Amino acid sequence: MLDTICDVLKAAYDRNWISTRDGNASFRRKNEPYLYVTPSGVRKQHLNAEMMIKLQMHDLNTGDDLNTSLSKIERVDDDYQRKIIGLNPTGELPLHFLLQKNLPVNNRVVLHLHPTYIVSAMYAGIDLQKLATDFPEINRYTKVGPSVPMIPPVSEELAWASIKALGLDPVTGELEYDIIGLDRHGVVAISKDPWSAFEDIERLEHICKMALASGKHLK
């Protein structure tokens, strides 16, 4: 699974959905207290599974606030990672932690990218959720949630706003939507495997490209 996450991020880079050091992802298996996240500032075209950072999450259901919960996360480094100087978790760790805190029955992958046409569509004032209802290419397979307004990246505020937009049930861990847009920032897509999350982004990117090409938003 970690190799696949690296492949997906490389594919995103090849499609210009991220620049070389952008984008991040996480993975958690059901019934395991470990969270795997991408490192911060690493060139995605050179990312490999050994560079993914393994974190051990304790006391997930104590009702602690976010900062307290994050402070309880312990890093589980192997010998290889200890040799890599300055390899730290992505700055979007609050987002990944909250989305991975309570899992449903399946594994979960969280993928955050910056696709060109999705970001452009939001910047042009297009409502992604409404747009998705007009195109069967996406609404048959992918549930698009409401977009998050402009909020500074790597912030706790962005993490909580994304949780709300995705419709996360705090008890069951289930999500109402597969993907949401982040205004002037990108998307968050969630699925049980990396390529499924990638495909949700691909579908939304495709219809945003068509919508922008139509010029309908300019009328």
pLDDT in tens, 154-181: 998 999 999 999 999 988 889 999 999 9
Q: What is the largest CA-CA distance in the chain?
A: 59
| pLDDT of the residue at 216 | 79
Contacts of 149 by beta carbon, 8 Å cutoff, 6+ apart:
161, 183
Cβ(24)–Cβ(38) below 8 Å: yes
CA–CA gap between residue 122 and residue 6 (Å, rounded): 27
| pLDDT of the residue at 64 | 59
pLDDT tens digits, residue range 60-93?
444 556 776 776 677 776 655 656 667 888 999 9
Contacts of 77 by beta carbon, 8 Å cutoff, 6+ apart:
53, 54
Among 202, 57, 4, residue whose Cα is nearest residue 117: 202
Q: In what order do the strands lie in the sheet with 24-28?
A: 74-75, 53-56, 34-37, 24-28, 108-113, 186-191, 179-182
Reported as type and span, the H/E element at residue 164 is helix 156-166
| pLDDT of the residue at 60 | 47
| pLDDT of the residue at 42 | 92
CA–CA gap between residue 159 and residue 153 (Å, rounded): 9
| pLDDT of the residue at 147 | 98
Token digits for 127?
């409502």
Strands (E), the chain: 24-28, 34-37, 53-56, 74-75, 108-113, 179-182, 186-191
Q: Which residues of the chain have pLDDT under 50?
A: 60-62
Q: Is 82 exposed, middle or buried (0-12, 13-18, 19+ CB in 10 A)?
A: exposed
